[in-house]
Amino acid sequence: MKITLTSSNAHKAEELAELFKNSTLDIVPAPKKIEVIEDGKTFQENAYKKAEAYYQEFKTPTLADDSGLVIPARTDILGVQSARYAPEFDDYQQKNQALLKDLGDLTDRAAYFVCYFCFYLKPEEIYFFEGRVHGEIATEARGDQGFGYDPVFLPDGLEGKSLAEVPEWKMINSHRAKAAKEAEKFFQNY
């Protein structure tokens, strides 16, 4: 089944192509980017808004991903606004430094990455899949293999390594990988 991807993020597109490479889904980039205002209060709402907008524009099944980093002790930052955090900075190296400064000496640094996929096949056929990876926020950025907040996120069970230090692990265990596995299982029997 051919599915149009609603993201213009090159890293995310590469990751999704890799995650779905052995599935029955053929994920293809959209012919052009369209502007979608992501003003939903949840990741699921934003994924739906993007998937619906691209479906309406291109009249083909779509896949939208909305994801972010959640820090339960600091719900005033990141979360559904992860991509829009610290807008004064152009790159994530600066955003990560701003985040570490904002957290300061916070002792409860528990966090999780969450991903919602919305597959919008047609208006009466819409499916959501969620994936999460739990861990904590480091006190310094480490690694150069990831993107976004990967250098400051330490997944549970990896003895202090950041997502940016373990790309092989990330491809199998990340929030997107978990959501992709759920979607793959579903679409095998579709």
**Are the beta carbons of 97 and 42 closer than 8 angstroms?**
no
26, 39, 65, 66: the catalytic one is: 66
| Alpha helical stretches, state H, the chain | 10-19, 43-58, 92-103, 167-173, 175-188
In terms of Cα–Cα distance, which of 49, 10, 24 is closest to 180? 24
Catalytic (active site) residue 66: yes
Query: Which residue type is seen at 182?
Result: E
Instruction: At 1, list the tokens.
Output: 């089944």
**Are the beta carbons of 23 and 35 closer than 8 angstroms?**
no
What positions carry a catalytic annotation?
A: 66
